[in-house]
Amino acid sequence: MNKPLRRIAIFCGLLILTLLIRDNWLQYVEADALQNNERNRRIAIERYAQPRGDIIVDGKPITGSKETSGSDFQYKRTYTDGPMWAPVTGYASQAFGANQLESVEDDILTGNDDRLFFRNTLDMITGKEQQGGNVVTTLNTAAQKAAYEGLAERGKGAVAAIEPSTGKILALASYPSYDPSTFAGNSTTTDTKAWQKLQKKNNPDDPMLNRALRETYPPGSTFKVVTAAAALEHGLYTDADAATKTPLPWTMPGTDTELKNEGNIPCENATLRVALQYSCNTVFGKVGSDLGNDKMLETAKKFGFTSEQFTPVRSTASVFSDDMNESQTALSSIGQFNTAATPLQMAMVASAVANDGTLMKPYMVDRLQASSVDTIEQTDPEELSKPMSSENAQVLQSMMETVVSKGTGTNAQIDGVTVGGKTGTAQHGVDNSEKPYAWFISYAKLDDGSSPVAVAVVVEDEAADRGDISGGGLAAPIAKSVMEAVIKSKQ
């Protein structure tokens, strides 16, 4: 071969080699990026070429799919009682993507999960279209309805309810809410406008905020349950009915500021039981100060504070600070200063007490199903931590039951059922300039000693008179209705 032909052959060989390298690079290195690129419309068309699987509550789907017209996306998502269930389902939109369960379990719902490979292969062989699987939740329809309707009467707020023995989430409500169906398609005239109206910059009520999982509030006096647990667990006090060493007035260490109680209540040297019954700031502030930041933080962490929870939807981490001085620790120990909690977190506190000191990991997906309804994954209850000994938890139960039987939580009483609870009215805003939040956490206990439900309720009632805002008045009746709904559904 002469020299010019050899050069041409080498050049052509290099071109072929370059082409092979580029081809393999595209197929094996950039394949995922190209497949997931937002401009790759073929992927989106394929995603909406068949109905999504459903999200199931109490054996019934709360989602669906319907055919569209005038679009190359064949199916779009529909929702039953969309606003009530939005904090659970999230949304799946052709134009705006997905969030919450619709996003976390997207592979199952679209049928693209690797665990559905055998099912999909059989469907391909038989010529059947690929079908999505189902997400079966732990939610309780009656409890969710009671929570949502109770909040709707008040204006803003959230509810979380848990089965203490397993960690199953029974209700997860947030108000105001939104209907995911209104922007499930990709129309610029309807879906885009509906989406824009829901954005916080256009709607200060922020209806798309999941207040049950993603908003942290000062928990106020409901946090005194954690402080009482810390006092018992660290041996500061061992008897709920023994006098505490709490003068009245009590000045916070390192300051000239007296910690005030609400009204003329019997807080001087009050027992832990009486202090919880009347919600004595002085007693629990001094308990926190005496224990110190480290011991209070240790107990708070055991209840779940400072850690995100994945249900599998992510819940924001609740806050109890470290490196606080004695007076700051005192304020944090009554649910003020930097302390902040999600409603799910405070339901976890009540749940751990009700479950004799064992905190179960909260979860809302019971199992995942193939389109044939065969189970491909089952969630098993899992112990998250042990915040209290069973003996101390039972002491704290008796204290919380006193709160409901003859304290600030009487509005949560249920005939024939033992209820334990704690009210809270949490200050917020600069110099307490905003209307306070009304809190209530509780659990119900049946005659056989089992506890079917623990609940946390927070209410932001901007229409109420400031003097009428209290956890016992606004939040406790909602908690009662949720507990009653769960109990009736199990009968």
Q: What is the mean pLDDT of residues 51-56?
A: 95
Whether residue 45 is predicted with pLDDT greater than 80 in this model: the reply is: no
377-394 pLDDT, tens digit per residue, is: 999 999 999 999 999 999
Looking at the domain that runs over 220-364+384-489, which CATH code has it been given? 3.40.710.10
- 374-to-135, 136, 261, 355, 371 alpha-carbon distances in Å: 12, 12, 57, 32, 7
pLDDT of residue 431: 46
pLDDT of residue 14: 79
Considering the chain, what is the average pLDDT of its residues?
Answer: 90
Q: What is the mean pLDDT of residues 293-315?
A: 98
Burial class from Cβ neighbours inside 10 Å (0-12, 13-18, 19+) for residue 324 reads: buried
Which residues have CB under 8 Å from 479's CB, separation 6+?
159, 412, 421, 440, 441, 442, 455, 456, 457
- Which pLDDT band, with edges at 50, 70 and 90, does 35 fall under? low
- Higher pLDDT pick, 35 / 399: 399
pLDDT of residue 430: 45
Cα–Cα dist 415/465, whole Å: 30
- Catalytic residue (one of 221, 351, 451, 481): 221
Beta 134-137 vs 55-57: how paired, if at all? parallel
User: What single string gives the DSSP state of each residue in 135-156?
Assistant: EEE---HHHHHHHHHHHHTTSS
Cα–Cα dist 286/73, whole Å: 62
Cα–Cα dist 8/14, whole Å: 10
User: What single string gives the DSSP state of each residue in 96-114?
Assistant: TEE-HHHHHTHHHHHT--G
Catalytic residue status for 221: yes
Cα–Cα dist 196/65, whole Å: 23
Is the bond preceding 4 in cis, omega lying within 30 degrees of 0? no
**Three-state SS string across 374-436, please?**
CEEEECCCCEEECCCCHHHHHHHHHHHHHHHHHCCCHHHCECCEEEEEEEEEECCCHHHCCCC
Amino acid of residue 463? A
Which residues have CB under 8 Å from 86's CB, separation 6+?
79, 174, 177, 178, 179, 180
Whether residue 112 is predicted with pLDDT greater than 90 in this model: the reply is: no
- Return the H-helix or E-strand segment holding 197: helix 191-198
Cα atoms in the 13 Å half-sphere on the side-chain side of 411? 17
